[in-house]
Copies of this chain bind each other. A is one copy, B any other.
Amino acid sequence: MPGIDEVAQLAGVSTATVSRALSGRGHVSPATKERVAAAASELGYVVSSSASGLATGRTRNVGVVIPFLNRWFYGAVIEGAQRRLLSHGYDLTLYNLSGGGDERRSVFEHFLLRKRVDAVIAINLELTPDEVTRLLDIDKPVVGVGGPLTGVRTLSIDDVEVSRLATEHLVSLGHRRIAHIGGDVEDERDFHVPTNRREGYEAALEAVGIPVDPTLYAPCDFTLQGAYHAAKQLLGSPRNRPTAVFAASDEMAIGTILAARDMGLRVPDDLSVIGIDDHELAEFFGLTTVAQFPELQGELAVEILMDQLHPENRAHGSLNTPLPYELVVRGSTARHDPRAR
């Protein structure tokens, strides 16, 4: 592990010049800059992040806090964020909160504060005002992905609109008995996603005069399995069977498709199904969905953060950037055929 002075010696300059040459801050003649670079690479020199961090107060490391890890969506966001951070020369330190309340406290009260990270990206976490203040007080920019967060730059998708779009797609195909399999309001760790999606669904129905039928709403736990069982209930109803289902996520939509198959219903002939996400398996199942682009979300979060890291363009207060979404029509939805059983 060579240090900066060995590089300085080999290049025949002072450590100050090495530092300047390597970091790009301050003026160094092209010639010496080159000599320094050569010396550094010959020795395999890499700056010590502790030393550099101590001297500058910047660590080139970003903390990413997520509520779960084992969900396709989060993996994709992290992947996008990581890629972009690496390209900016930043590391990504991960804090997964799926453990429970105590873990969350210790992350916010200790881990994030020990000057290991320059900034924080919070994914689908409704930070408490206290948590936000804590971070902002020590001058750490925070970017939230997934919902409005007071005092913080955020990126979020308009869940109500996304749901409305999905539901409208079904309506436009002539469906009127449209069920919604949504998340349980119980575990709304995230930004009322279940509630918002339900609202969009109801708004779309009401807009065209279809009364909202509470028996066509089935809450479950946001998993394929949960949706499978919920769908069976819905589809088993002899009187009021829906002709279409809007599921709050693709995994749930896939559960619905599997349930329909098991009940001998053909998708889309007997039942149209639409989800949200554009999950990696959506194409395989021919699932119509409203795509959100989690990798892009991760990348965008990083770009915004990089902006914030340059104090000159640090926007204060809450600013929300809307996230893109897009209807992707595949084979799981079709025009409602009134003659179908």
Chain A positions within 8 Å of B, measured between CB atoms, are: 1, 44, 46-51, 53-54, 59, 61, 69-70, 72, 75-76, 78-79, 82-83, 86, 91-96, 98-99, 103, 106-107, 109-111, 113-116, 138, 224-225, 228, 261, 280-281, 284
Q: How many copies does the complex hold?
A: 2
A1-B138, A79-B70, A261-B261 as given contacts; A111 in contact with B86, CB under 8 Å: yes
Interface contact B86-A103, CB-CB below 8 Å: yes
Known: A49-B53, A54-B54, A69-B82. 19 other contacts (CB 8 A): A46-B113, A46-B114, A47-B114, A49-B114, A50-B115, A50-B116, A53-B53, A69-B78, A69-B79, A70-B75, A79-B96, A82-B94, A82-B95, A86-B107, A91-B93, A91-B95, A91-B116, A224-B281, A225-B284
- Residue on B nearest A56 in the bound complex, by CB: B50
**A61–B95 CA distance with the chains assembled, in angstroms:** 12
Q: List 6 A-B contacts (CB under 8 A).
A: A50-B51, A70-B280, A78-B96, A82-B96, A86-B107, A91-B111
- Residue on B nearest A137 in the bound complex, by CB: B1
Point out the residues of chain B lying under 8 angstroms from A111, CB to CB: 86, 91
**A86–B110 CA distance with the chains assembled, in angstroms:** 11
Q: Which of B53, B95, B96 contacts A50 (CB 8 A)?
A: B53
Point out the residues of chain B lying under 8 angstroms from A69, CB to CB: 75, 78-79, 82
> What's the minimum C-beta distance from A111 to chain B, rounded to whole angstroms?
6
> What's the minimum C-beta distance from A95 to chain B, rounded to whole angstroms?
8
**A86–B95 CA distance with the chains assembled, in angstroms:** 9
Interface contact A78-B94, CB-CB below 8 Å: yes
**A311–B67 CA distance with the chains assembled, in angstroms:** 35
> What's the minimum C-beta distance from A285 to chain B, rounded to whole angstroms?
9
**A51–B47 CA distance with the chains assembled, in angstroms:** 15
Q: Which of B48, B95, B98, B99 contacts A114 (CB 8 A)?
A: B48
**A236–B86 CA distance with the chains assembled, in angstroms:** 46
Point out the residues of chain B lying under 8 angstroms from A48, CB to CB: 54, 114-115
> What's the minimum C-beta distance from A134 to chain B, rounded to whole angstroms?
8
Interface contact B284-A228, CB-CB below 8 Å: yes
**A281–B110 CA distance with the chains assembled, in angstroms:** 35
**A171–B103 CA distance with the chains assembled, in angstroms:** 46
> What's the minimum C-beta distance from A225 to chain B, rounded to whole angstroms?
5
- Residue on B nearest A284 in the bound complex, by CB: B225
**A224–B75 CA distance with the chains assembled, in angstroms:** 18
Interface contact A284-B49, CB-CB below 8 Å: no
A79-B96, A284-B225 as given contacts; A70 in contact with B72, CB under 8 Å: yes
**A76–B98 CA distance with the chains assembled, in angstroms:** 12
Query: Which of A49, A76, A92 gathers the greatest number of chain B CB atoms within 10 Å?
Result: A49
**A94–B81 CA distance with the chains assembled, in angstroms:** 11
> What's the minimum C-beta distance from A176 to chain B, rounded to whole angstroms?
30
**A280–B79 CA distance with the chains assembled, in angstroms:** 21
**A288–B205 CA distance with the chains assembled, in angstroms:** 43
- Residue on B nearest A51 in the bound complex, by CB: B54
Point out the residues of chain B lying under 8 angstroms from A261, CB to CB: 261
**A114–B51 CA distance with the chains assembled, in angstroms:** 10
Point out the residues of chain B lying under 8 angstroms from A50, CB to CB: 49-51, 53-54, 59, 115-116
